[in-house]
């Protein structure tokens, strides 16, 4: 069985700086890491592979430096890493990203299961997984917080959706997107870490995917959504209103604020 884990290299959000006056995001000094949600996806894949002796391939689209994230995934248990990197892929929205990833998956000799994290901490969309599934024409299950059973042709999972938990049985090949509740990602051993630093990461450019991919569908060209501008809202200041007398009318004021903030129905 082959499992593909889709992951993304993201800036360390604790260190990204936001300048509200100039409206810019400075991620230069932030350093990078694997999107935290994707670590859950990787851990889920590695746990399955330990039971079924399957292969785990991690895949990402990004700049050449995203190789680091794939090496890290190998340290944490992936067998192989594939980096989709090409200038032509730059500026992609979720659709163009999903098209690129889906076609790279097609290039693999075979796959049964694709696992991704709930969303990325920088883009925050959570769309790429379902879009990849659509482009591959395979079923998907979102918000998986438990893997119940794996059979020859099926995986049974628990999906936390619509305010309930649903046991869903899905036919391979399939894509699942997991939540952070599914597991606690393990730390790599120091030895795996050392080994992974030297691991070879396959790099596929647009040329390597030309049998599968129309160049018009990738990168900025292939992106139907465009960012017109970015706004960095200033930090919210606390109201700091304190009341000692006439509490009842103060509570009315609070209720008004709760309604404005949509915490209470208006």
Q: What is the footprint of other proteins within residues 100-139 (CB under 8 A)?
A: 121-131, 133-135, 138-139
Query: What is the spatial distance between Cα 143 and Cα 179, in angstroms, rounded to a whole number?
Result: 5
Closest separation in Å from C-beta 255 to other proteins: 6
165 belongs to the binding site for other proteins (CB under 8 A): yes
- Please tell me the distance from the alpha carbon of residue 211 to that of residue 193, in angstroms, as a whole number: 35
84 or 132: whose CB is closer to other proteins? 132
Q: How far apart are CA 43 and CA 22, in angstroms?
A: 39
Of the pair 53, 238, the CB lying nearest other proteins is at: 238
Placement of tokens 């090409």 in the chain: 86
Q: Could you give the C-alpha distances from 23 to 26, 30, 128, in angstroms and in order?
A: 10, 17, 26
Whether the link from the prior residue into 66 is cis, omega within 30° of 0, is: no
- Kindly state the number of chain residues that form the binding site for other proteins, as judged by CB under 8 A: 98
- Contact between 65 and other proteins (CB under 8 A)? no
Instruction: Tell which positions 199-258 bind other proteins, by CB under 8 A.
Output: 223-233, 236, 238-244, 247-248, 250-255, 257-258
> Which residue's CB is nearer to other proteins, number 15 or number 107?
15
- Binding segment (CB under 8 A) for other proteins, from list 1-9, 11-19, 103-111, 204-212: 11-19
CA distance 142 to 139: 10
Q: What does residue 182 show for φ and ψ, rounded to 5 degrees? A: -70, -30
Residue from the set 15, 87, 107, 210 that interacts with other proteins by CB under 8 A:
15
- Confirm if 230 and 24 have CB atoms less than 8 A apart: yes
Q: Show the site string, 141-160: x = touches other proteins by CB under 8 A, - = not.
A: xxx------------x-xxx
């Amino acid at each position: 069985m082959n499992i593909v884990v889709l992951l993304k290299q993201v800036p360390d959000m604790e260190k990204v700086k936001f300048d509200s006056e100039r409206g810019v995001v400075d991620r230069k000094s932030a350093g990078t890491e694997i999107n935290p949600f994707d670590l859950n996806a990787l851990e889920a894949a590695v746990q399955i592979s330990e039971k079924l002796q399957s292969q785990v391939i991690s895949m990402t689209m990004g700049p050449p430096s995203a190789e680091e994230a794939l090496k890290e995934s190998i340290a944490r248990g992936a067998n192989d890493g594939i980096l989709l990197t090409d200038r032509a892929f730059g500026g992609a929205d979720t659709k163009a990203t999903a098209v690129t990833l889906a076609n790279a998956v097609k290039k693999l000799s075979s796959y049964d299961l694709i696992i991704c994290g709930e969303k990325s901490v920088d883009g925050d969309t959570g769309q790429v997984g379902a879009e990849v599934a659509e482009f591959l024409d395979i079923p998907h299950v979102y918000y998986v917080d438990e893997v119940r059973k794996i059979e020859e042709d099926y995986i049974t999972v628990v999906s936390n959706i619509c305010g309930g938990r649903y046991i869903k049985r899905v036919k391979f090949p399939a894509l699942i997107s997991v939540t952070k509740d599914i597991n606690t990602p393990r730390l790599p051993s120091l030895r795996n870490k050392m080994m992974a630093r030297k691991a070879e990461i396959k790099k596929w450019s647009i040329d390597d995917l030309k049998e599968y991919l129309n160049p018009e569908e990738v990168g900025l060209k292939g992106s139907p959504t465009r960012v017109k501008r970015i706004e960095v809202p200033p930090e919210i200041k606390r109201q700091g209103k304190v009341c000692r007398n006439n509490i009842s009318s103060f509570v009315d004021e609070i209720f008004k604020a709760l309604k404005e903030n949509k915490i209470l129905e208006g």
